[in-house]
Amino acid sequence: MKSKAKFPCLPGNTFYAEVRRRVNNDFKENNISINANLLMWAKACLFLILFLALYLTILLSSFHTAILLSLTILLGAVCAFIGFNICHDAIHGSFSSSKRINSFFSFLFNMVGANPYVWNITHNVVHHTYTNIPGHDEDIEVAPGLIRICTEDKLKPHQRFQQWYAFPLYSLASLSWVFRKDYKKFFQKSVGACKNKHPKVEYFNLFFYKFLYYFIFIGLPILIMPLAWWQVAIGFVVLHMAQGLTMGLVFQLAHVVEGTTFPITNAEGNMEEAWAEHQMRTTANFATQSPISAFFLGGLNRQIEHHLFPKICHIHYGRISTIVKQTALEFGLPYHENSTFLAALRSHYRILKKMGQPETI
């Protein structure tokens, strides 16, 4: 097992201490809860209603296969939006002050094909602590050996084309998650530097809810729909390609764009900067002025605010972003952001192209 990378504890008026003080004061002075507000609840209900309506329409209607395929693509995107907007906040404990409500919405992660317990380990514990650190943050290991995003990875000849084939690979991420990733992460000895030791109930949860998911999205359609099994299989793959591409792009545009770094530990296994400063260098925002992005992406287009304040519901990220940006600039720290989704996409493309060239090593 890898040794854990350690961040230095700096005395005095640090960036993180100051930005937390300012953000906390803002919520207190304006008497605002850090958890979900009415808009957040309305958005959660909307996505869940859309999910049920699309699923039941596909399952029970007699539409032409072309229409069913279109609805399936839309359902895949909605599954990703449920993950972004509801489950992600709930697993972080930021949706509600009630543990029961957070647990219920965390459970819904099973219904989009992912295991919430494994996600908590790989994302909340490892990714949020060791963001973009090669060998520690396994979330950045997208298709190892196929996609190279940092200089610590060995360059392979085929990666000179990765700026073209990376995007189709992202669309397979959700399929990998459903059939491979959760099992692999659960049974490997450690995730990054964190040793795996699971409660017995999580073994049952992993297999039971995976089986339930397979039945709901594969077995039941085969039993009920007037389609051949292979047509249902195609629909399942298409659903996950839409879900995977949506999820994959949002994550990549938040961490693998120009300006973000992939720091490594020093000879003693320590990081050179404090944790919060590290987050500012490894994370980026995009399309922050777009109400559409804010609504659909669950605040993940404001990844900086999310990494600094994961216990605050994403519905408030727009509010605190001005405070975070101003404080970062005062402390001489970067605040990476791309003005639009397309600008971030182009930046990610350029990183892929650069990392596929020999001169980068």
Instruction: Spell out the residues 6+ positions from residue 187 whose beta carbon is closer than 8 angstroms to its own.
Output: 196
- Kind of pairing between the strands at 194-195 and 284-286: unpaired
DSSP category for residue 270 = B
Report the percent of the chain where pLDDT is more than 90: 78
Max Cα–Cα distance, the chain, nearest Å = 68
List CB contacts of 148: < 8 A, sequence separation 6 or more: 154, 155, 156, 159, 162, 355, 356
pLDDT for the residue 3 = 64
Q: Are 352 and 161 in contact (CB under 8 A)?
A: no
The contacts of residue 181 (CB under 8 Å, 6+ apart) are 118
- Per-residue pLDDT tens for 248-264? 889 899 999 999 999 98
Residue 286 clears pLDDT 80, i.e. is over it: yes
**Domain ranges (residues) in the chain:** 32-264+271-360
CA distance linking residue 95 with residue 102, whole number of Å: 6
pLDDT digits (tens, 9 = 90+) for 114-169: 999 999 999 998 899 999 998 888 777 777 788 998 888 889 999 999 999 999 99
pLDDT at 192 over 80: no
Which amino acid appears at position 22 of this protein?
A: R
SS (H, E, C) 82-140: HHHHHHHHHHHCCCCCCHHHHHHHHHHHHHHCCCHHHHHHHHHHHHHHCCCCCCCCHHH
pLDDT of residue 336: 96
Quickly state the pLDDT bin for 9 (edges 50, 70, 90).
confident
